[in-house]
Chains A and B, each alone.
Chain A
Amino acid sequence: ETGVTQTPRHLVMGMTNKKSLKCEQHLGHNAMYWYKQSAKKPLELMFVYNFKEQTENNSVPSRFSPECPNSSHLFLHLHTLQPEDSALYLCASSQADRALHFGNGTRLTVT
């Protein structure tokens, strides 16, 4: 059972829709991350939050908007996405041992 829970597991949305991905970690970690996993490409770091403060935005388009209301919850708000945004979006958390603990991801399909 993963200590990082992501919902929904699957999401299909049109290019004009607005949706949100949710991540919750039960590990007491202080840092949370969004990664994008596309077919045949290495994982791409999107955002990093430490103690609720955003410390990294890896040149992510503004149609992706993260929110971190507290150290246990992380959201990714999506609007006017493109078909090339279809991917597996992975949330992770970490603490002093630097290892990332991942959720099972949200499989996003943009139509």
Chain B
Amino acid sequence: AQSVTQLDSQVPVFEEAPVELRCNYSSSVSVYLFWYVQYPNQGLQLLLKYLSGSTLVKGINGFEAEFNKSQTSFHLRKPSVHISDTAEYFCAVSDADSWGKLQFGAGTQVVVTP
């Protein structure tokens, strides 16, 4: 079974600064990778996904992530954050032959301050 490690439980960042959230997964088989964001009192919203093709994936709200197969990583980046990016971010992975069984990381809380 897959496991997902989000290396930082909390990331403080100043407004307009860049941010990178790290995610590593365990398996070397074909995988699908996702990043979700959760705002307070809401469900999870899909930011971006990697299924195949280009390893650089662009998502909503200016976020992007890069799939690195050799390092089994899928780090999320944004060049300039806003106060509204304060939220919890979850990395998730599923085996390509395992329908819908996403394994989630523990989450990274991003706190953006002026």
* Least Cβ–Cβ distance between A99 and chain B, in angstroms: 5
A104: CB under 8 A from chain B? yes
Report the interface size class on chain A: 20 to 34
Chain B residues closer than 8 Å to A90, beta-carbon distance? 43-44
* Least Cβ–Cβ distance between B36 and chain A, in angstroms: 8
Which of A11-19, A37-45, A65-73, A77-85 sits within the interface?
A: A37-45
* Cβ-defined contact, B106 with A41, below 8 A: yes
Report the interface size class on chain B: 20 to 34
* Cβ-defined contact, A100 with B106, below 8 A: no
* Least Cβ–Cβ distance between A73 and chain B, in angstroms: 17
| Candidates B42, B49, B90, B101; contact of A56 at CB < 8 Å | B101
Q: Known contacts A98-B49, A100-B100; is A42 also within 8 Å of B34 by CB?
A: no
Residues of A within 8 A of B (CB): 2, 4, 6, 31, 33, 40-43, 45, 48, 50, 55-56, 90, 92, 94, 97-105, 107
